[in-house]
């Protein structure tokens, strides 16, 4: 029943665009401001060891491609977009048309 | 957490979140609990995720909230309490009646052993004043006098 409901959702129609959200874990060095921010995998590869607690912090950065201008954006920025509908299962759902411009037509 | 506790107890449960918060929260979490999601910003409010409809939750409140049934239940309880009180009162009255009857029978027994002389000495008054007619104290006082005379003799 729930699966049936999902299939009938408006997001699966042509009126919506689905954009995958990518989560990237970044390591930040708090003591050395000149140290480059690396992904966790790259950090382990470069240093041969994992990040240590007081000096390094791991940040989870969620990015996606903005359907408006095809530029990379943070997932948190989607909340300011009038086309954004919801985030579901690491996918961002947007309206194909901007409701503000469609309403002004 | 509070919303997930109410899911299943009511027909539909919704959460309203600002769009900025909804962009950070995965709606799958709400869908697993059957909770719907409304998002809002300065411009509009929209249903981002429909809530699941719970059938079982609909029947339970109807049973509880039926005013006629609850009123009847209250009345039956009141009647039961009153009936129990009345039963107790009747039982007490019966006991009192039995205990009040017991000395009277003993006195009657004593009367049978009274001498004939004292009985014949009683005068029957045909016309009694109204306050003496049917007054139980007349009988009690007359017996008391007889008893004393019997003891003296």
| Tens digit of each residue's pLDDT (9 = 90 or more) over A25-77 | 999 999 998 999 999 999 999 999 999 989 999 999 999 999 999 999 999 99
ipTM of the complex: 0.70
- Say whether B23 and A77 touch across the interface (CB within 8 A): yes
Question: What is the phi/psi pair of residue B83, to 5°?
Answer: -65, -40
The whole-angstrom separation of Cα A52 and Cα A68 is 39
Cα distances (Å, whole numbers) of residue A22 to A60, A93, B85, B94: 10, 14, 76, 89
* Domain locations along chain B: 2-59, 66-116
Candidates B39, B41, B44; nearest CB to A86? B39
Tokens standing for residue A49:
């060891």
> B37 and chain A: CB distance < 8 Å anywhere?
yes
DSSP structural state of residue A36 = P
Taking every pair of Cα atoms in chain A, the longest distance, rounded to a whole number of angstroms, is 58
* CB-CB neighbors (< 8 A) of B46 in chain A: 85
Instruction: For residues B15-40, give the mean pLDDT.
Output: 89
């Amino acid at each position: 029943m729930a699966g049936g409901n999902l299939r009938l959702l408006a997001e699966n129609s042509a009126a919506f665009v689905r954009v995958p959200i990518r989560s990237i874990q970044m390591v930040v060095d708090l003591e050395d401001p000149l140290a480059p921010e690396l992904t966790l995998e790259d950090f382990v590869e470069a240093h041969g060891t994992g990040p240590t607690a007081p000096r390094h912090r791991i940040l989870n950065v969620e990015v996606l491609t903005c359907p408006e201008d095809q530029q990379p954006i943070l997932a948190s920025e989607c909340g300011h977009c009038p086309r954004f509908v919801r985030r579901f299962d690491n996918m961002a759902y947007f309206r194909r048309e901007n409701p503000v411009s469609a309403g002004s037509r | 957490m509070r919303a997930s506790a109410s899911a299943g107890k009511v027909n539909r449960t919704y959460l309203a979140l600002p769009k900025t918060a909804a962009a950070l929260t995965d709606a799958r979490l709400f869908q697993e609990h059957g909770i719907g999601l409304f998002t809002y910003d300065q411009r509009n409010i929209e249903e981002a995720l429909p809530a699941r409809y719970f059938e079982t939750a609909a029947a339970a409140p109807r049973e509880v909230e039926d005013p006629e049934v609850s009123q009847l239940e209250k009345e039956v309880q009141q009647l039961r309490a009153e009936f129990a009180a009345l039963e107790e009162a009747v039982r007490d009255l019966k006991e009192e009646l039995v205990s009040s009857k017991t000395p009277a029978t003993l006195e009657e027994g004593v009367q049978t052993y009274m001498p004939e002389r004292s009985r014949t000495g009683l005068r029957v008054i045909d016309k009694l004043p109204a306050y003496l007619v049917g007054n139980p104290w007349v009988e009690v006082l007359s017996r008391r006098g007889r008893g004393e005379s019997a003891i003296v003799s």
